[in-house]
Amino acid sequence: MDASASPKTSLSSTFESDVRKIIAAEHVRTAGASDAVAGVQPSLVVEPGNEQELAKVLKLANDVGMAVIPRGGGTKLEWGNRPARADLILSTARMNRVIEHAWADLTVSAEAGCTIAKLQDTVAKHGQRLALDPLWPERATVGGVLSTNDSGVLRLRFGSLRDLVIGATVALADGTVASSGGKVVKNVAGYDLPKLVTGAFGTLGVITRAIFRLHPLPKEKRTISVVTRDLTEAQRLVLAIQNSKLAHSALQIRCGAEMQPRVDVLFEGTETGLSAQSAQLKLMAGEAREDDAGGKVWNRREEILSRTESDGENCAMGKFTTLPVEIAETVAMIGKIAASGLRWSVVAQATGIGLVLIDGAVSEIAAALRGLREWLGIRGGSLVVVRRPAGMAELDAWGDSGDALGLMQAVKRQFDQQGTLNPGRFVGGI
């Protein structure tokens, strides 16, 4: 060994040599600047071709104490806290197959690196869909969407990802490949691993494949957007729609410092049914003005998140939860907190889950987010900081984890005793 080489360099060289015995050299490379995770630079990027290769590499990394960052399409890689360490990027880019579409059973099985768009295109050939609308489906992968629990607006009618996933296979830090669930919708036997890893930010294991329940594709879609006088009227309309017999698939409020409140409603079904429901909605809206925004309103989340990508020095994004009956009050409080020179916009689903964009001076943004988090916490809500300006690293992404932290830490130790996977990124520094 070269006497000038540090122990870490020697260890990395040995590790890379061992990895190349498992995976072809063209799929192992030195990490570049574009592979950094929230400013933390890893050393190596490895792209396994199947779950057996992935598990073997993960075990090697765990045995030598390397920190592993799982990566799918990379669309949400900066969500959560900065990693405490980042040695190895474990990419699922090559694990991108739709394994089986059991159309008669309304289920589909896909590898973790399969994009949502590819999965949807495959099942659409039999008139079916995964009733999910995550951000950037052309790049977002099955594993990444599950890890971040990015359900989207269709959860109002079809449930969250935890309701749609019925089976999963996960590579654990020690190289064990664990599976739970099955290929039939009613399978409930065994430990519920799929629900456990959904939203865990890759801290318990690396998802290698998943099985989802499917729904029929709608024959037609129609979006109606209604401009309301104020937030009170928007809240009233949302609650009236929720308490009606309308069979809407999505419902949200859009508002901002420079935008009058709007209520967006998505109907799906036959043309006759859509016309009847649209007419009923217009009666409920009364004198409120209809806004011809079309289906593009459902991409509003992507628009405002893309804005944070281009204006990252000045923008922050938070994902909040509140009671459905308190959406208007929450949005009003956001406007009040951000009144001192900050620009803001909100998209809030009728379920009480929303995204808030705040733009302005970094110090004022941090104060606004802290104030909003405190206000929501008193009312049983929460605020997760999804994106933050460069000078706000000290602001924890998750906030107070409450009494659940001890249990979460125990589960983490059970699955990843050495803290190999995504260290520091999740709640409480897990």
Are 133 and 141 in contact by the 8 Å Cβ rule? The answer is no
Measured between alpha carbons, how far is 312 from 291 in angstroms, rounded to an integer? Answer: 30
Domains 7-91 and 220-417 share a fold: no
Higher pLDDT, 239 or 189: 239
Mean pLDDT of the chain: 89
The 10s digit of each residue's pLDDT in 277-330 is 999 998 998 876 766 666 678 876 666 666 655 554 588 899 999 999 999 999
- Burial code (b: 16+ CB inside 10 Å, e: under 16) for 172-192 equals bbbbebbbbbeeeeeeeeeee
* Residue pointed to by tokens 């890689």: 77
Q: Distance (Å, rounded) from C-alpha 341 to C-alpha 331?
A: 17
Burial class (CB in 10 A: 0-12, 13-18, 19+), 64: middle
| Predicted confidence band of residue 124 (pLDDT cuts 50, 70, 90) | very high
Long-range contacts of 14-19 (CB under 8 A, 24+ apart): 14/64, 15/44, 15/60, 15/61, 15/64, 15/66, 16/44, 18/60, 19/44, 19/46, 19/57, 19/60
Domain 7-91 CATH class label? alpha beta
Q: How many CA atoms lie within 13 A of 259 on its CB side?
A: 17
pLDDT digits (tens, 9 = 90+) for 84-114: 999 999 999 999 999 999 999 999 999 999 9
- Going from N- to C-terminal start, the domains of the chain cover 7-91, 98-216, 220-417
The pairing of beta strand 206-213 with beta strand 107-111: antiparallel
Split at pLDDT 50, 70, 90, the class of 184 is very low
The pLDDT, as a whole number, for residue 315 is: 86
The arithmetic mean of pLDDT across residues 238-258, rounded, is 94
Closest by CA to 330, choosing from 377, 266, 262, is 377
Is the pLDDT at 129 greater than 70? The verdict is: yes
Which value, to the nearest 10 degrees, does the dihedral of the CA atoms of residues 272, 278, 281, 283 take? Answer: -90
CATH architecture of 220-417: 3-Layer(aba) Sandwich (3.40)
What CATH code would you report for 98-216?
3.30.465.10
Type and span of the H or E element at 9: helix 7-20
